Structure 1
Amino acid sequence: MNEQDQRPEALLAERQRRFEEDLVDAYDEELEMEVDDRLLDGAAGMTPEARDARKTYFRELFRLQGELVKLQDWIVKTGHRMVVIFEGRDAAGKGGAIKRITQRLNPRVCRVVALPAPSNRERTQWYFQRYATHLPAGGEMVLFDRSWYNRAGVERVMGFCTDDEYEEFFRSVPEFEKMLVRSGVQILKYWFSITDEEQEIRFQARIQDPLKQWKLSPMDLESRRRWEAYTHAKEVMLQRSHIPEAPWWVVQAVDKKRARLNCIHHLLSQVPYHEIDHPGVSLPERVHHAEYIRQPVPTELIVPEIY
Structure 2
Amino acid sequence: MKKGLSDANFIPNWDTVKFLKATKEAGFEGVELNFREQGGELTHETSIVEAKRLARLVESHDLEIASLSTGLFNFYPLSSGDARLRKNGEDIGFRMIELAEAMGVDVIQVVPGVAAVDISYDAAYELAVESLSRLGDVASEAGVTIGIENVCNKFLPSPREYTGFLNEINHSSVQAYFDNGNALATGYPEHFIKLLGDRIVAMHVKDYREHMGEFVSILEGDTNWPAMMKALKDIPYEGYLIATPHYPFLHSHDSHIERYSRDLTAVLNLSTPVSEGKS
TM-score interval, normalised by the smaller of the two chains? 0.3 to 0.5
Structure ranking higher on relative contact order (CA contacts 8 Å, 6+ apart):
1
Larger Rg: 1
**Under a length normalisation based on structure 2, what TM-score does the superposition of the two structures give?**
0.33
